[in-house]
Structure 1
Amino acid sequence: MNRKSAELDTGIRSFSVQLSSTPRGARLARLLATEQLRSWEIPLDPGRQIVAELAANAATHGRVGGRDFRLMLYVVGDVLRVEVTDTRGERLPRPQAPSPGAESGRGLLLVQALADRWGVVGDRFPRKTVWAELRLTARDPSCPPPAG
């Protein structure tokens, strides 16, 4: 596990950690993100829920033997950005309605519901990054949500 946290005088905060693409790595991503958000005095939810879903997806669907995934958290102004990068660039995620009796398959639907914006960015093959952004301040209900 390799992790790094930085806080610049500009108010930009960042945290990065590389974890094994396993269920243990996904759990550790959630725990480390929780502690980082706590240290930044940011509300834990829904940020840690988004981290949990994206990390679980990386460990389940983005897994390649012997390769890790990376979790990055950024706070710029009043926006928290969560990024999870894995090495399955050929498998781009998309939300799908799960079967009624399915015990899994709702992760991206949750991310879509919790985040203000989210998306997928192709990286240098074979990587891809799934990201989500949360506004940390209450949005004025008269303003439309950001395009994304």
Structure 2
Amino acid sequence: MVSKPSRHCTVELQALPSRISQVRRIVTAQLRYWRLDALIDRVALGVTELLTNVHRHAGTDKTCTVQIELDLDRLTVSVHDRDPRLPYVHEPEPGATGGRGLALIAALSESWGVQPHGRSGKTVWFALPTPPLVPLFTADAVYGSATTGPLAEPVVLESVATGDSAHTPARSAVLG
């Protein structure tokens, strides 16, 4: 049996404004690594909205976990926090500066939802279809073909630079 491959990226944080922008950069770097540049704007906006909700509504414990999971044809983004109160979509008052976050999540995603975890909190998630991926390498490019021959030099891929080394990935729990 062939199982469906997936990739994960998990970031734990305090949902504070400075950390929200940092997580947005980490998520953007991860999507670029996965070659999903077409999803960056929607995912960054969705993550910002969900983390802003944690910042505004989760009380004093702003600890949360952002997870993005890539399956073959779907990217799922989730934010787990420790506040058991469930969010809901409501019609904001005219001129209100807030109250549109979940409506925005619904508009930018293919699907979304809330999974309660009893007293230990909840997970709010949204999903997007992934565009068709173009392979990094083809067998002809790696092994050569009768018309192209083998590569003269190895292909070097750039990595996301954080800290002192230009060869370290963004600071997150990244698999894949």
Task: Return 112-121 or 93-102, whichever deviates more.
Answer: 93-102
**Following TM superposition, where does structure 1 have runs of at least 4 consecutive aligned residues deviating by more than 4 angstroms?**
none
Q: Which has the larger radius of gyration?
A: 2
The answer to whether the 8 A contact 2:6-2:72 is kept is: yes
Higher relative contact order (Cα pairs below 8 Å, separated by 6+ residues): 2
Shift of 1:25: 2.3
Q: Which has the higher helix share?
A: 2
Letter in 2 for 1:132: F
Q: Which amino acid aligns with 2:125?
A: W
1:97-136 mapped onto 2 (5 Å cutoff): 97-123=91-117, 125-136=119-130
TM-score (norm 2): 0.67
Instruction: Say whether the 8 Å CA contact 1:62–1:86 is kept in structure 2.
Output: yes
Q: Distance in 1 between matches of 2:14 and 2:100?
A: 22
Tell me whether 1:69 sits opposite 2:59 in the alignment.
no
Q: Percent identity?
A: 34
Question: What are the ranges of 5 or more consecutive residues in structure 2 without an aligned counterpart?
Answer: 133-176
Identify the structure with the greater strand proportion. Answer: 1
AA aligned opposite 1:51: V
Aligned residues: 128
Any conservation in 2 of the 1:21–1:63 contact (CA below 8 Å)? no
The residue identity in structure 1 corresponding to 2:54 is A
Q: Residue deviations 1:44-84, cap 9 Å, x none?
A: 1211111111111112212433x511000000111000000
Written as runs of structure 1 = structure 2, the 5 A alignment for 1:54-93 is 54-65=50-61, 67-89=62-84, 91-93=85-87
